Amino acid sequence: MSILAGFMVPHPPLAVSEVGRGEEKKIKATLDAYERVGREIASLAPDTVIITSPHSIMYSDYFHISPGASARGDFSRFNASKVSFEVKYDTELVSQICKLCDSSSFPAGTDGNRMPELDHGTMVPLYFINKYYTGYKLVRIGLSGLSLKLHEDFGEIIEAAVEKLGRKVVFVASGDLSHCQKAEGPYGYKPEGPEYDKRLIDVMSEGRFEKLKDFDEVFLNKAEECGHRSFVIMAGALKKYEFTSQVLSHEATFGVGYGIGVYKCMGYKENETKDPYVLLAQKTIDAYIRERRVIEPPKDLPAEMTDNEAGVFVSIHKFGMLRGCIGTFLPTRKNIAEEIISNAISASTRDPRFPEIRPDEIGDLSINVDVLTTPEPVSSKDELDAKKYGVIVTKGSRRGLLLPDLEGVESVDEQIEIAKQKAGIAPMEEVSLMRFEVRRHI
C-alpha cells in the first residue's frame, strides 16, 4: 500500500497564531482538528507529502507540478515574516508523475513555473504538520480549469506514480469550502454557500468520493468554493483503496467554510471486474500484447456470448484518457465472444490515433465493452437522445459512428457533429441517421 491516508484541510492564514493574533481562537474546532491531522501524519511517518493547493500556479488547461529541488516561503504577506518554510521536493516522484502524464498525453507537468515560492494554501497545512513531523519531502501541485473528471483522472495518475516508486505517501487536499455563507463574509451571503458546505460535508463524511463529480460547475461558481477540485484529485488518488472516513470539524465562523476530514487507507480494493465481457477483453489484450497470441474463447462463457451475434466496441482508457477504441456496428464474427476478441486486438494495436499499447502499460488500463443493438433508421434528430442512443451518420460511402453517453457529449447536435467529423462529412452536409442502443460492460 503506497498512499497511507488522505486529508481534507482548509488554509486560512489566521489559523497560524502569529497571523491570527488571537482571532484564531474563534475557530477552535478547526485548530484542534488540525493539530490532530499533524499528529496523524507524524504517526504514519510518510516519505512524501503531496499537497494540492488552489493557490499554487493554476492554468485553465494544464495541471502545474512545482519543479526543482526545493522551495521556500513565508507569511510576510500576512505580517508574519518570521513564520517561514523551506522544503525539499521529491524530484523522483515529480519525474515519475510527469513521465506517466507524457505517456498518456495528459495535460500536466512542470512547465510555466511563474511562482516558485510556496503559497499559503501549502504553508498553512505545513505549519501544523511541521509541529509534529519534518521527515518528509514535498510534492506541490496546482489545480486547473479542466473538468472535474480530469481532476479525478490526474489523481489516478499520481497514485500510479506513487505505486511504481513504492513511496509511503500522505495526500493533503488543501482547500476552503464556500466563501459566501454570511453577509459579513468576504463574498457576502448567497444561499448556495451553506448548501454547498452541507452537500460537501455529507459526501466527505461518508467517503462517497464518486459524488464529488456530481456537483454542477455553475453551482460551484455560485457557491464561491475554493477547494473542490483539490478534493476531487484526492478522490482519484484514493480510488483503488478501501479507507475509513471521518470529518473532524466544520466551521464557518468568518463566512468561509473550513472542513477537516481524515481518510485512512486500509488496503487495495479487491479487483471488482467480474463481468465476463470485460474479462475476455482484458485477457485478449494481455495475451496479444505480451505474447502476440490470439486466445480462444473460454469454455465457461455465458451462452449469451457464444450463441448470439452483435456489433461490439472495445474502448481502452489509461488514467481516464482514451487509449484506443475500435468496433463493429454489425456482427462480423460468429458470436459476441469472437467479436470481442477481434476488436480488443484491434483497439490495442490498430487505432490510427494512437501508438500500439506497450506491455508496461497494461496494468494502467481500464477497458469497456459495448454490445450494440441492430441499428435502425430515424427520420430526424428528434428521435435521438445522446445519453440513450448511439448515432450513425451516412453520406454516400462516408459513415461515422458515435457511442451514446460519452463524457463531454451533452446534446444530439454535438453527437451528430462529432460523428460527421469522424466520417469526413462537412457540418452543413445533409446525412441519413441511424440509432442504436448499447449494453455497456465496465
Q: Which CATH number fits domain 3-268: 3.30.450.20, 3.40.920.10, 3.30.9.10, 3.40.830.10?
A: 3.40.830.10
Distances (CA, A) of 208 to 2, 211, 262, 276: 21, 6, 13, 27
Strand 169-174's sheet: what is its strand order? 137-142, 48-53, 169-174, 3-9, 258-268, 241-251
For the full predicted model, state whether its pTM sits above 0.85. Answer: no
Nearest to 71 by CA among 29, 118, 34: 118
3-class secondary-structure state, position 197: helix
Is the per-residue pLDDT at 442 higher than 90? no
4-22 per-position pLDDT tens digit: 999 999 999 999 999 999 9
The per-residue pLDDT for 408 is 83
101-105, 260-264, 410-414, range with greatest mean pLDDT = 260-264
For residue 279, pLDDT over 70 is answered with yes
* pLDDT reading at 274 higher than 80: no
Say what percent of the chain tops pLDDT 90: 91
Q: Which of 212, 132, 123 is nearest to 172 (CA)?
A: 123
In Å, how far are 58, 134, 147, 209 from 39, measured between CA atoms? 30, 12, 34, 24
Flag whether pLDDT at 273 surpasses 70: no
363: DSSP letter: G
**328: number of Cβ within 10 Å:** 18
- Tell whether the model's pLDDT for residue 197 goes beyond 80: yes
How do residues 312-322 score in pLDDT, each as one tens digit? Answer: 999 999 988 89
Residue type at position 105: S
Which of 44-58, 146-160, 259-273 is least confident? 259-273
Q: Mean per-residue pLDDT for 67-87? A: 96
Q: Are 188 and 174 in contact (CB under 8 A)?
A: no
Q: Would you say 177 and 10 are in contact if contact means Cβ atoms under 8 Å apart?
A: yes
Rounded to whole angstroms, the Cα distance separating 48 from 136 reads 5
Task: Average the pLDDT over 417-429 and give the result.
Answer: 94
Q: What digits encode the pLDDT tens for the residues 139-169?
A: 999 999 999 999 999 999 999 999 999 999 9
Q: What is the mean pLDDT of the chain?
A: 95
Distance CA 189, CA 184 (A): 8
The domain segmentation of the chain, as residue ranges, is: 3-268, 276-441
C-alpha cell at 158: 499520481
Assess contact for 409 and 418: CB atoms under 8 A: yes
Tell whether the model's pLDDT for residue 270 goes beyond 80: no
Determine the Cα–Cα distance for residues 172 and 3; give it in Å rounded to an integer: 11
The number of residues making up the chain comes to 442
Cα–Cα distance for residue pair 20/79, rounded to 1 Å: 10
pLDDT value, residue 375: 95
322-380 pLDDT tens trace: 999 999 999 999 999 999 999 999 999 999 999 999 998 898 899 999 999 999 999 99
Given this model, what pLDDT does residue 420 score? 95
pLDDT score recorded for residue 268: 86
Alpha-carbon span 286 to 264, nearest angstrom:
33
Task: Tell me the mean pLDDT in the region 24-38.
Answer: 97
Element (H, E) at 258: strand 258-268
Residue 393's pLDDT band, with cuts at 50, 70 and 90, is very high
Buried b (16+ CB within 10 A) or exposed e, 346-372: bbbbebeebeebeeebeebbbbbbbbb
Tell me which of 46 and 408 has the higher pLDDT.
46
Measured distance CA(31)–CA(125) in Å, rounded = 11
DSSP-derived secondary structure letter, 416: H
CB 190 within 8 A of CB 223: yes
Question: How high is the pLDDT of residue 269?
Answer: 83
Q: Average the pLDDT over 66-76 and give the result.
A: 97
Q: Which amino acid is at 265?
A: C
Name the phi and psi angles at 17, rounded to 5: -60, -35
Q: Is the dihedral of CA 177, 183, 185, 189 positive or negative?
A: positive
Q: What is the CATH number of domain 276-441?
A: 3.30.700.20
For residue 114, the one-letter residue type is R
Percentage with pLDDT > 70 across the chain:
99
pLDDT value for 158: 97
Q: How far apart are CA 122 and CA 338, in angstroms?
A: 53
The answer to whether residue 1 scores a pLDDT higher than 70 is no
Q: What is the pLDDT of residue 16?
A: 96
